[in-house]
Amino acid sequence: MTTPVYENFINGHFLKNQTGDTFAVKNPATDEVIYHVEIADEFIQNAAIESAKQGFAAWSAMTPIERSRILLKAVAILRDRNDELAKVEVLDTGKPWQEAECVDVETGADVIEYFAGLAPAQVGQQQMVGNDFYYTRKEPLGICAGIGAWNYPLQIACWKSGPALAAGNAVIFKPSEETPLGAIKLSEIFIEAGVPAGVFNVVQGAAEVGQWLTANPNIEKVSFTGEVGTGKKVMASAAGSLKDVTMELGGKSPLLVFDDADVSQAVSAAMLGNFYTQGEICTNCTRIYVHKNVYQQFIDELKTRTEQNIIAGDPMDPEVNLGALISKKHQELVLGYIDKGIQEGATLLTGGKALSPVSAPNGYFVEPTVFVDCKDDMTIVKEEIFGPVMSVLVFDDEDDVIQRANDTHLGLAAGVFTKDIQRAHRVIHQLQAGICWINSYGNSPAEMPVGGYKQSGIGRENGIETLDHYTQTKSIYVGMSNIESPF
């Protein structure tokens, strides 16, 4: 059976490359190639820049309310095609249908809707200076690049294009080579909704294509989602042409469970924050600090629920709630971390092995894994694993656990479970993280800014402030009287 070959999406249509080079995309749950994608060669890269220049000229000349109307049409199409798009995400990522069906497309559409609504409300300032005055305009930046990770491909494409397009920019987006189809589907939807050709272009390929985007002097901003190490390379390259950057990077986030917490709720949060999307979520609470008074109760319930309630298998089966990891290579990496945890003396409470479910025997599955008796200096406690591997640690003292939670170069997210309202806020205010939850974990509505402290990121996505990061302020001084000049 021949598989489809997708071309790059440039200037409103698919465009064939000249080299003929392609790469294969596999379904992580079956290990089968499901389609091929053409790599963006020099011809495509040049075409993408020309296309985005033309797209920018047309789009930025429209009023914000016109742009808003068109983007809202795209939102409606996204929602209409929810199931078709969710299936694309399941086949590309290996995540369970039961997640993609209600989260991936939905949260992507929400963000475009949010920024479409905000766009016409963006205003400048005006101020008198004596008899003269000045005013400011919020102008778009020009061509913005988006570079995405593979865990939420369509959602990331929506989160980057929503504010960029609402503010009047053109976008060239590069999805991860593991998951290229969601962004292609989005590009078609934008055209169908009436976004002019050239405003949203998709280029395909691996790091070299990303490097081209970050170095290209025609591009004004790069919004990147990926690993910390790649983020550093992207930022260094972007510095060559002084591009603005937004960095959404990795994490090793703590969840603190105090002894007055609702333990069952805390276990729910810990499981969501480690096993949802088979652990491939940047904000995951992979370090769970539990107060010694409720430690045993917490791990007993955690073990029971992990062993009884998790169903791994064909991700398209609506009963399945644990999917396959993105690739064989990533599965091996995660299993390597598990071995390291055992070698370094952590106790395996449950899981720890590769899985081969009957309905998806060739998929890259890993058992939901919980380590207890962990120590702060263990590799599994320090490094981002990006798989279903949870480390549980015990604590006694509030100040001490805050210090331990903050003892990392990462600072993406954090959570606290306690019924003491004063302690909840006191503790969360001291945690060095950009996205925090109290008696909750993982919710990320369009309205709420998200991004990291320390090496977990720069800038924010979502929330009102993000629109400002896709505009630049022009100040215009207006003289109302004769110029006084010594010349």
Active site residues: 160, 248, 282, 461
Chain residues 434-463 in contact with ligand NDP, contact rule CB under 6 A: 452, 457
Cβ–Cβ contacts within 10 Å for residue 424, how many? 18
CB of residue 435 to ligand NDP, shortest distance in Å = 9
Residue from 8, 93, 151, 350 binding ligand NDP (CB under 6 A): 151
> Is 246 a residue that touches ligand NDP (CB under 6 A)?
no
Contact 217, 23 (CB under 8 A): no
In whole angstroms, what is the distance from residue 96 CA to residue 351 CA? Answer: 19
> Is 410 a residue that touches ligand NDP (CB under 6 A)?
no
In whole angstroms, what is the distance from residue 95 CA to residue 92 CA? Answer: 8
Chain residues 224-243 in contact with ligand NDP, contact rule CB under 6 A: 225-227, 230, 233-234
Contact 350, 341 (CB under 8 A): no
In whole angstroms, what is the distance from residue 447 CA to residue 35 CA? Answer: 36
Residue 78 or 238: the one with the smaller Cβ distance to ligand NDP is 238
> Is 386 a residue that touches ligand NDP (CB under 6 A)?
yes
Report the b/e string of 404-422 with b at 16+ CB within 10 A. Answer: bbbebebbbbbbbbbeeee
Cβ–Cβ contacts within 10 Å for residue 86, how many? 24
What would the x/- binding string for ligand NDP be over residues 41 to 60, using CB under 6 A? --------------------
> Is 207 a residue that touches ligand NDP (CB under 6 A)?
yes
CB of residue 40 to ligand NDP, shortest distance in Å = 11
Residue from 96, 148, 273, 341 binding ligand NDP (CB under 6 A): 148
Residue from 94, 96, 140, 210 binding ligand NDP (CB under 6 A): 210
Residue 227 or 468: the one with the smaller Cβ distance to ligand NDP is 227
Q: Which helix (H) or strand (E) covers residue 427, if one does?
A: helix 421-430
Which residues make beta-bridge pairs with 417? Answer: 257
* Beta strands 453-454 and 347-350, pairing class: unpaired
Residue from 282, 299, 310, 324 binding ligand NDP (CB under 6 A): 282
Give the angle 363-366-368 at the CA atoms, nearest 5°: 140
In whole angstroms, what is the distance from residue 481 CA to residue 487 CA? Answer: 17
In whole angstroms, what is the distance from residue 443 CA to residue 469 CA? Answer: 23
Residue from 279, 384, 394, 431 binding ligand NDP (CB under 6 A): 384
What would the x/- binding string for ligand NDP be over residues 173 to 202, using CB under 6 A? -x-xx-------------------------
Q: Which residue's Cβ lies closest to ligand NDP?
A: 210
* Beta strands 453-454 and 219-225, pairing class: unpaired
Residue 22 or 60: the one with the smaller Cβ distance to ligand NDP is 22
> Is 150 a residue that touches ligand NDP (CB under 6 A)?
yes
CB of residue 172 to ligand NDP, shortest distance in Å = 12
Find tokens 């009963």 and name the residue. 319
The SS3 call for residue 401 is helix
Structure tokens at 364: 């890259």
The residues of the shown chain that bind ligand NDP, judged by CB under 6 A, are 147-151, 174, 176-177, 206-207, 210-211, 214, 225-227, 230, 233-234, 248-251, 282, 384, 386, 412, 452, 457
